[in-house]
Amino acid sequence: MFYREAGDFKTSYKDDNQTFPIRLDRMGYYIVMFVAFCVVPFFVNDYWVNSVFAPFLIYAIAALGLNILTGYAGQVSLGTGGFMAVGAYAVYKLMVAFPDVSIVIHVLLAGGITAVVGVLFGLPSLRIKGFYLAVATLAAQFFLVWVFNKVPWFYNYSASGQINAPERSVFGVIVTGPNTEAWAKYMICLVFVVVLAWVARNLTRGMMGRKWMGIRDMDIAAEIIGVNPLMAKLTAFAVSSFFVGVAGALFFAVYLGAAEAGESFGIAKSFLILFMIIIGGLGSIFGSFAGAAFMVLLPVLLKNVLVGGLGWPTDLAAHLEFMVVGGLIVIFLILEPHGLAQLWRLTKEKLRLWPFPH
Amino acid sequence: MPEQLLFAIEVTLNGLMAGVLYALVALGFVLIFKASGIFNYAQGVMALFAALTLVGIQQGQVPFSHLINAIFGTHIHHFPWQVPSIIAIILAAGVMVFFAWLVEKYILQHLIGQPDIILFMATIGLAYFMEGFGDMMWGSEIKTLDVGLPQGLNVAIDETTYGWFGYGFFIDNLDLVATLVAIVLVTVLVIFSQYTKQGRALRAVADDHSAALSVGISLRFIWVLVWSIAGFVALVAGIMWGAKSGVQFSLSLIALKALPVLMLGGFTSIPGAIIGGLIIGVGEQLFEFAIGPMVGGATQNWFAYVLALVFLIFRPQGLFGEKIIERV
Amino acid sequence: MTTDMNADSYVTEDGRTIGPVVMDLKNITLRFGGVVAIKDISFDIREGEIRAIIGPNGAGKSSMLNVISGFYKPQEGEVYFRGSKRPQMKPYQVAQQGLARTFQNIALFDGMTVLDNIMTGRLNKMKANIFQQAIWKGKAEREEIENREACEKVIDFLEIQHIRKTPVGRLPYGLKKRVELARALAAEPSLLLLDEPMAGMNVEEKEDMSRFILDMNDEFGTTIALIEHDMGVVMDLSDRVVVMDYGKKIGDGTPDEVRNNQDVIDAYLGVSHD
C-alpha cells in the first residue's frame, strides 16, 4: 500500500534516469547501506566473515563481472576461475615486488592485468559464437591454471607451489595476512563491492550497456545500426575480466591468505560463478548479489542442517548439495530464466498494485 | 631406426587409441546435438553414472545405502549376490534408457524453443545433479570395474615389433579392445542412421523440428531414442575408461576432453568426431612427448583446447561442420 | 508547372525541395556462389526524396538494400555517397556515415525497453568514453540527458509515449514496427532505408505508417529509400521508383512513368509466351 510511484513525480530526465525511481526502494537502499557500513562491522566475528560475508562480497564482484559478459553482452564464459587466478597471482607478484605501494592500488592493477588477459582470450569471440565460444573459454581456464602451476616465477619458486599473502595495511589497519581482524576483512571487501557495483550500474544503464545488450539480443542488427561488434565484445571482456580479476585478488589476498591455482581457481569455481548469475538473474546487478548470497548460504545451511542437525556424514551432505544446486539450475532455467532478480521484480510489481490488482 | 623415432611411433599409436576413446565420448555429444540441437554437457557425467550403475549392479550394492544408513542408523551395504557381467551391462543399459525418458519428460519438454545457450546451461545443471545423484546412490569411493576385458601389455605386438626394430612397442590390450568396440559401435550407428526408418526420422528431426512434426514424426520418441543411444554410448565409454583407471569422479572429466574434439570436428559431424578425436589424441601425446619436458609437463590439460581454439579462429564451423550463413 | 528533374535541385508539386544525389549506385552485381542476386544495376537516390524499390518476390530488392547498408559486399560495381566513392566498409562504419535502416523481420533488441532501443539509435552521437561512463557524473550524464530529449521528440512524433518503458518483447507487431522506425529515425540519418515497412499490417496500420513516412520526409527532410510490396502505397508515397525483376532493373522513373512501362506490366501481370 505504501509501495507506490504515485505522487513521486519526475520533472527531469535526470530524475527519470535514477537507479531507484520509487521512494520506498531508495529508502530501502539507504537502510541497507547504513546497516552494511555502520552496524555490521561492530558485530561480525571470524566465523561470520569467513563463512558468509567475505565469500559473499567477493563472489558478488565476480558475479557482477561474469554477468556483464554473459548477462549483458551475451557471451558465455567458462573461464572465470582462470581469470580469478590471474587476479590472484598478479596481486601476489605486485605485493611482493612493491611492498610500499598501497594494497588497494595493487588490487586495482591486478584487475587491470586480468582485463588485458581477458581481452586476449576474448579475441576469438568475433569469429566464434554461442557455446563454441563457451567451450573456447575453457581453453583459458585450463591454460591459465596450468601456467600458474608450472611456471615457478609466478609463485616465487616457493617449495609448496603455493602463494601466501604478506601482511599489508590500509590507513594503518591490517587487511591481509593472518593477523587481519574480522571487521577489517569485511570492510575492505565491502568498499570494493559498493564501488564496483556502482560502476557496473553506470556502465550498464548508459550507452555501453546498450551496445552490449544489442550484441546479446541481435548481433547482426546491432552491427548494422552502428555498433562495432569487436569493440563491444572486447570492452565486455575487459570490464568483466577487470571485475573478476579484482575478485580473484581479494579472494586470495584478503579471504584465503594462501592459494594454489588448481585448487582455488579450478573449473569448479567457473561453474560456481556461472550458477550464481543463472540463479540470481542474467543481466541484473541485483541478481548478481542475490545469486552470490544464495550460492554462499546454501552450503552453509545444508551443512548446518544435515551434518549439524541430523548427524549425516559430510560427504553425503556434499552429494545432496550437488543435487540441489544442479536441480535448482534446471528448475530456474525452466520456470524463471531471469532468476531471483525477476522474482523480486514481479513481487515488486504485484506490491505496487496491492491491494487493488486491477 | 633411431630410438627417438620409435618412441614417437609408439606415442602416436597410444595417442591414436586414446583418441578413439575421446571420439567415443564425442560421438554421444554429436548424436544428441544433431537430433535436438542440444549441446549436452552432461555426457561425461552420464558415462560416470553408467559405469557406477554397472559396478553397483554387478557387485550387488544396495542403492542409496549410505542415505538409508544415515537416516535409519542401519548398516546395510550389499545384497548377498553378485550379478554376471553381461546381465549387469544389460540392466545398466536399461537404467540409461529410463534416464533418457526422465530427462525428456522432466527437462527437455519444458525447454522446447529456448535459446541454445539456455539448454546448454541446463545440461550443466543436469550434470551437477547426476553427479550428486550417482554418488548418493552408489557411494563416492573409487571402484574397480571388471567385466572380463583383457588388460595389460599385448605380448604379441611387443615381440613382433622387437623382432622388427629391436624395440618392443608397449600397447595395452584394453586399448585394442576399445578401438575395436568403437569401430563396431560407429559402424552400427552409421548403418542405423542411414538405413533404418528411425534413423531417417532422426535425421529429419535434426534438419527441422517443425517440418518433422508435420509429417508425423514424434519428437518425444526421437528425443528419448537419441538420449538412450547417447546413454548407451556413455555406458560403453564408461566401461572402457572405468576398466582403464577405475570408476571415480575423474571419469566425468573425459567430457571436458571431448569438447575440443567437437570444436575441431564440428558439432554435427560423426566423421568429424572420429577424426577430431584421433587428431587430438595423437596431437596431445606427441606435444607432451616433444615439448612437454621443456615446459614442465602435463600439457595434456590444455593442449586440446588451445589447438581447437586456434583452429576455430581460422575455421569457425570446425573441420566438417556446415558453413554458417548469416542473414537479416 | 513542369519540373526539370535532371536539375541540381527542384521543387515538387507539393512544395518539397529535392536536392542533389546523395547516393549513387553504379553497375552493382552481387553473387552468392553461382546465384546472381543482383545483375548490373545502377540508380541514384536524391536528397529529400522518397525512393521506392519494387519488384516481385525474389527480385533482389532486399539484397539491394543490404548492399546499400554495407551488409553484403557486391562483387562488381561502386557505391558513391555524397559524391565520393565508398571504400569497402563494415556495416557499422556505414551507419556512422549517416545511414539508418529498418528490417523486414523486425530486428529490435527484445531484452531492452522501447526507450533503450530508441536510444541505441543515438549511439553515434554519444562520445563519452568508457571511463566517463563508468563514473556517470559529467559528460556521460549530460549526453544521456541531451540525447534523451532528442529521443523524446521521436517518441512524440511516432506517438509511442505510452510504451516508453515497456520491454520490446511484450509489444504487438504493429508497435514493434513503429519502435524500429523510431530507432532508425533517432539516428537523424541522412539516408533512411525501410525494408518492407508495411509488411503484415492491416489497412489502418498501413495508413498510419504511410502518414509517418510522409511526415518524416516533409518535416525533417529525411531522404528515404524503401522496399514495398503494396503497389498502391508505393505509387502514392514515392517520388521515384526503381523496378527490379530477377536481379535486373526493368524500370526507373516517376510512379506514372513506371506504371506505363511495358516491361513492368509484363513482370507484374505476366506475359503470354505464344
- A82-95 pLDDT, tens per residue? 999 999 999 999 99
Residue window 212-251, chain A: list those with CB within 8 Å of chain C.
Answer: 213-214, 216-218, 220-229, 235, 239
**Chain B contacts of A302, Cβ < 8 Å?**
none
- Tell me, yes or no, if B117 comes closer than 8 A to chain C by beta carbon: no
> What is the average pLDDT across B271-295?
85
The Cα of B105 is separated from the nearest Cα of chain C by a number of Å equal to 28
Contact at CB, A213 and C135, closer than 8 angstroms: no
Q: Do A278 and B121 touch (CB under 8 A)?
A: yes
- Minimal CA separation from A329 to chain C, in Å: 21
Disruptive mutation site among A142, A148, A295 for chain B (greatest number of B CBs within 10 Å)? A142
Predicted pLDDT at A83: 97
Per residue in B32-41, pLDDT tens? Answer: 787 777 888 8
- Where b means 16+ CB within 10 Å and e means fewer, A196-224 reads bbebbbbbbbbbbbbbbbbbbbbbebbbb
- Confidence band for A189, pLDDT divided at 50, 70 and 90: very high
Instruction: Give the chain C residue nearest B327 (alpha carbons).
Output: C71
Q: B215 touching C, CB under 8 A? A: no
Chain C contact for A13, CB < 8 A?
Answer: yes
CA C106/CA C176 separation, integer angstroms: 7
Instruction: Name the range with the highest mean pLDDT among B104-108, B137-141, C222-226.
Output: C222-226
Hey, which residues does A39 pair with through a beta bridge?
none
Average pLDDT estimate for C148-159: 92
Asked if the model's pLDDT at residue A309 lies above 90, the reply is no
Q: Which of A129, A220, A321 sits opposite B132 (nearest CB)?
A: A321
By CA distance, what is B125's nearest residue in A?
A326
Q: What domains are there in chain C, each with its CATH number? A: 1-98+190-268 (3.40.50.300), 107-188 (3.40.50.300)
- What contacts C67, CB < 8 A, 6 or more positions away? C25, C28, C30, C38, C73, C74, C79
- Which range among A290-299, A338-347, C26-35, C137-146 shows the weakest confidence by mean pLDDT? A338-347
Give the domain range for residue A52.
45-265
Q: Identify the CA nearest to B265 among candidates B233, B304, B207.
A: B304
Count CB neighbours of C234 within 10 A.
Answer: 21
Question: What's the pLDDT at A287?
Answer: 92
Residue C38 pLDDT exceeds 70: yes
Q: Are B131 and B44 in contact (CB under 8 A)?
A: no
Give B328's contacts in chain C (Cβ within 8 Å).
66, 71, 103-105, 107
B47 touches A at CB < 8 Å: no
* Chain C closest-CA separation from residue A213 CA (Å): 7
pLDDT: which is higher, A97 or C59: A97
pLDDT at C5 over 70: no
| End-to-end C-alpha distance for chain B, whole angstroms | 59
Q: Nearest to residue C24, comparing CAs of C183, C225, C212, C159?
A: C225
pLDDT tens-digit map of B105-127: 888 888 877 777 788 888 989 99
In angstroms, the Cα distances linking A209 to A17, A64, A68, A228, A309 are 14, 13, 9, 13, 46
Q: What does the buried/exposed string (b/e) look like for A296-313 if buried means 16 or more CB atoms within 10 Å of the residue's CB?
A: bebbeebbeebeeeeebe
Helix (H, G, I), strand (E, B) or coil at A71: helix
Contact call for residues A111 and A68 (beta carbons, < 8 A): no
Query: Of B118, B129, B328, which is closest to A323 when you measure between CB atoms?
Result: B129
Question: pLDDT tens across A28-75, in order?
Answer: 889 999 999 999 898 888 889 999 999 999 999 999 999 999 999 999
> Among the listed ranges A270-279, B154-163, C215-224, which one has the minimum average pLDDT value?
B154-163
Check if the beta carbon of residue B30 is closer than 8 Å to that of residue B267: yes
Looking at the complex, report in whole angstroms how far the Cα of residue A324 sits from the nearest Cα belonging to chain B: 7
Quick one: pLDDT at residue B40?
85
Q: What is the pLDDT of residue B301?
A: 77
List chains touching B (3+ CB pairs under 8 A).
A, C
Chains within contact range of chain A (3+ C-beta pairs < 8 Å) = B, C
Residue A220 lies in a domain: yes
Report if residue A201 sits inside a domain.
Answer: yes
pTM summary value: 0.89
Q: Which chains touch C (3 or more CB pairs under 8 A)?
A: A, B
Total structural domains within chain A: 1
The answer on pLDDT for A295 being more than 60 is yes
Q: Any CB–CB contact under 8 A between B328 and chain C?
A: yes
pLDDT at C1: 42
pLDDT for B326: 60
Contacts of C71 in chain A (CB under 8 A): 220, 224
Mean pLDDT of C244-266: 88
* Range picked from A97-106, A330-339, C252-261 for highest mean pLDDT: A97-106
Domains of chain B (ranges; CATH) run 3-314 (1.10.3470)
Average pLDDT score over residue span B267-286: 85
Does the pLDDT at position C3 exceed 60?
no
Residue B1 pLDDT class (50, 70, 90 cuts): low
Summarize the confidence of residues B263-290 as an average pLDDT: 84
Give A-chain residues touching C112 at CB under 8 angstroms.
Answer: 210, 213-214, 217
Q: How far apart are CA A262 and CA A273, in angstroms?
A: 16
Listed range (B73-82, B145-154, B227-236, C146-155) with the worst mean pLDDT: B145-154
Position A21 in a domain: no
Query: How many CB contacts within 8 angstroms connect chain A with chain C?
Result: 107
Q: What pLDDT does C149 receive? A: 92
Q: Residues of chain A with pLDDT > 90: what percent?
A: 54
Residues of A in contact with B110 (CB under 8 A): 334
- Residue A7, domain member (yes or no): no
Query: For a pLDDT cut of 90, what percent of chain B falls above it?
Result: 11
Test mutation, A207, A218, A342, chain C, max C CBs within 10 A: A207
Q: Residue for cell digits 560427504?
A: A315
State how far the alpha carbon of C186 is from the alpha carbons of C124, C217, C222, in Å: 10, 14, 11
Q: What is the mean pLDDT of residues B120-140?
A: 89
The band of B307, judged by pLDDT with boundaries at 50, 70 and 90, is confident
Does pLDDT of C182 surpass 90?
yes
Determine the residue of chain C that is closest to A225 in CA distance: C95
Q: What share of chain A is helix, strand, coil (3-state, %, to 5)?
A: 75, 0, 25
